[in-house]
Amino acid sequence: MAEREWRVRELPRVSIVPDPPQTPLFHVHVRGDRDVLWERMLDQAQAQAHGVWLANRIEPSVVPNVSKLELNIGEPALEISPKEAAELFAAVAAN
C-alpha cells in the first residue's frame, strides 16, 4: 500500500489524511470545488473500460475549497497499479 499512497501523495492539489495512513481506510483531500470534482469523477468512471470507481461521495471539508473522499484499499484495489491510481486521481484533481 505504501507505494500506492506515495504516488497519490505526490500529486499537486492532493493530500492524504492521516499521513501516513494507519489503516487501509484513509481520507484523500483534494483542492477544488466539490461539484466540479464529483463531475470529473463520474466522467472518469464512465470513460474507464474497467470501471474504476474512486469513492461513493466527495464531501466538503472544513477548509474552504478543499473536498475530501474516503478511500478504502481492499484486495480488488490492489489490482490497480500505483501509476494508474495516480493517473486516476490526477484526472479528478486537474486544474
Most confident of the ranges 1-5, 25-29, 83-87: 25-29
* pLDDT tops 70 at residue 4: no
pLDDT > 70 fraction of the chain, expressed in percent and rounded: 86
**Residue range 48-74: mean pLDDT, rounded:** 84
**Among 38, 79, 74, CA closest to 56:** 38
Instruction: Provide the 8-state DSSP code for 35.
Output: H
Are 27 and 68 contacting, i.e. CB atoms less than 8 angstroms apart? yes
**Residue range 63-85: mean pLDDT, rounded:** 85
* Structural domains of the chain sorted by starting position, each given as residue range(s) with its CATH number in brackets: 2-93 (3.90.1150.10)
User: What digits encode the pLDDT tens for the residues 19-59?
Assistant: 888 888 889 999 999 999 999 888 877 766 656 788 888 99
